[in-house]
């Protein structure tokens, strides 16, 4: 199969890491299925990546609904496309004290950040394993190695994605399928605005989307189970892996600025 004939499905492609990942994949010769809910932004990105020479298709399933992942799989199947690389990027953040938070918004976060990658990994991962090749990149976070007071559900969702990804890495590597969790620290995207978390104090330490995606694609090609791009991400990731939870949850509370 030629590189140009390989299809990558990128969820949440209209902004942030998803948008940049689509650009870099297009530059590397991948054909793209771009997913997003904003039709105008999706078509603009499709036009931009097509000008790079990529073959581009679009999908608009609402992954924050319970039938969204199945709808996306059906849309891809209707296009007659065999997904060689799945980038589970779509996600939602939410900053709030848990007991005072909007429960519907918490459910939406769990659907998008937990159930969607689980269902898409199952749907496309089973096909990759059957044919003996494929790649899956699940966008987790350094939040996945910490408890997150003030962003409790978001941090827990990323812990799920990280654990799932590392387990699937072990299960599927012998079957020719590479699975990696991407665990960035803070990145310059609209995530912080949507999550309602004022993170401007540390903005100078944030990586760019270009840096994160470049490092992520190199790490995926090298068969890594997890990738924490950049010095700040590596420090946070390493700290979260070795620190007692009694310590890490207090540090995380300071970082999120949301102690009780």
Catalytic site residues?
154, 158
Treating both helix axes as pointing N-terminal to C-terminal, what angle do 68-78 and 116-131 enclose, rounded to 10 degrees?
A: 40
Residue 190 in contact with residue 170, Cβ under 8 Å? no
Phi-psi region of 84 (alpha: psi -120 to 50; beta: other; left: phi over 0): alpha
In this structure, what is the dihedral angle of CA atoms 23, 24, 30, 31, given to the nearest 10 degrees? Answer: -10
Residue 69 in contact with residue 113, Cβ under 8 Å? no
Residue 144 in contact with residue 161, Cβ under 8 Å? yes
Report which DSSP code applies to 187.
B
Q: Which residues are CB-neighbours of 145 under 8 A, at least 6 positions away?
A: 159, 162, 183, 236, 237, 239, 240, 241, 248
- First CA to last CA across the chain, in angstroms? 55
Distance CA 224, CA 209 (A): 20
Q: Which residues are CB-neighbours of 43 under 8 A, at least 6 positions away?
A: 58
């Amino acid at each position: 199969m030629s590189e140009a004939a390989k299809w990558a499905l990128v969820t949440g492609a209209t902004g942030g890491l998803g948008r940049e990942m689509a650009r870099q994949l297009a530059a590397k010769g991948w054909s793209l299925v771009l997913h997003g809910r904003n039709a105008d932004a999706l078509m603009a990105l499709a036009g931009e990546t097509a000008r790079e020479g990529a073959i581009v298709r679009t999908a608009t399933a609402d992954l924050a609904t319970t039938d969204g992942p199945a709808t996306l799989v059906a849309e891809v199947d209707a296009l007659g496309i065999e997904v060689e690389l799945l980038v589970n990027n779509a996600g939602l953040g939410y900053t709030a004290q848990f007991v005072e938070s909007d429960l519907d918004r918490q459910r939406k976060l769990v659907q998008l950040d937990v159930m969607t990658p689980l269902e898409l990994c199952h749907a496309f991962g089973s096909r990759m394993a059957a044919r003996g090749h494929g790649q899956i990149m699940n966008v987790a976070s350094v939040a996945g190695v910490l408890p997150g007071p003030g962003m409790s559900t978001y941090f827990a969702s990323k812990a799920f994605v990280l654990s799932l990804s590392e387990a699937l890495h072990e299960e599927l590597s012998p079957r020719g399928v590479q699975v990696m969790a991407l665990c960035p620290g803070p990145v310059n995207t609209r995530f912080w605005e949507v999550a309602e978390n004022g993170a401007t104090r540390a903005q100078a330490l944030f990586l760019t989307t270009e840096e994160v995606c470049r490092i992520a694609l190199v790490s995926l090609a090298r068969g890594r189970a997890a990738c924490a791009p950049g010095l700040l991400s590596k420090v946070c990731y390493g700290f979260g892996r070795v620190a007692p939870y009694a310590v890490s949850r207090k540090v995380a509370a300071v970082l999120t600025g949301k102690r009780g």
